[in-house]
Structure 1
């Protein structure tokens, strides 16, 4: 079981963490929403929650709540740069379908 950061995402998360000294790492998970079912949540972790799994990649900790873990297990988080900005993208092997707008997704298992 693991969640990982591609090099560009790892560098960006490091910058976020250096700008927010009280952050412990990256919090990553999902919530029920959208037209397909699940939506990613990525934010800075300010505290450890009960049931968190913590993955360490180099010097960055990735906090994943227990309920999200089965849905995001194996996900690689990357960062793509476009003309005027950048955006995190999620390569999740558990995704089986996405809604037309790209905001939510489904998995093969109902969680």
Structure 2
């Protein structure tokens, strides 16, 4: 497997450093350690005849394992002004 996974769980509270993203009535909390890996990511919910699942389109994804469960992500490095 390639290493990292997209995981989602219910949050009972907002962490002090969590990133909060709100779109169309949905609220997503992002762990501060994951933010640089998820910049530019689009999340969608897809349903077909066989399954329903969240799908991530991440420009920072450099690869994935054959089963599709883990991904190779490169963090976006902040630009420093001179």
Q: Same fold (TM over 0.5)?
A: yes
Q: Give the aligned partner of residue 80 of structure 2.
A: none
Greater CA drift, 77-86 or 94-103? 77-86
Q: Which has the higher strand share?
A: 1
2:3 corresponds to which of 37, 44, 49 = 37
The answer as to 2:17 corresponding to 1:54 is no
TM-score (norm 1): 0.61
Gap runs ≥5 in structure 2: 76-82
Aligned pair count reads: 75
1:84 to partner: Cα distance: 3.6
Q: Moved runs in structure 1, 4+ residues, more than 4 A? A: none
Aligned residue number for residue 35 of structure 2: 69
1:80-105, Cα deviation, whole Å (9 max, x unpaired): 11214311110011000001110001
Q: 8 Å contact 2:37–2:74 — kept in the other structure?
A: no
Greater helix share, 1 or 2? 1
Deviation at 1:78, TM superposition (A): 0.9
TM-score of the two chains, using structure 2 as the length reference: 0.80
- SS of the residue corresponding to residue 78 of structure 1 reads strand
Q: 1:48 to 1:76 in 2, by over 3 A?
A: same
**Correspondence 1:1-111 to 2 at 5 A:** 35-109=1-75
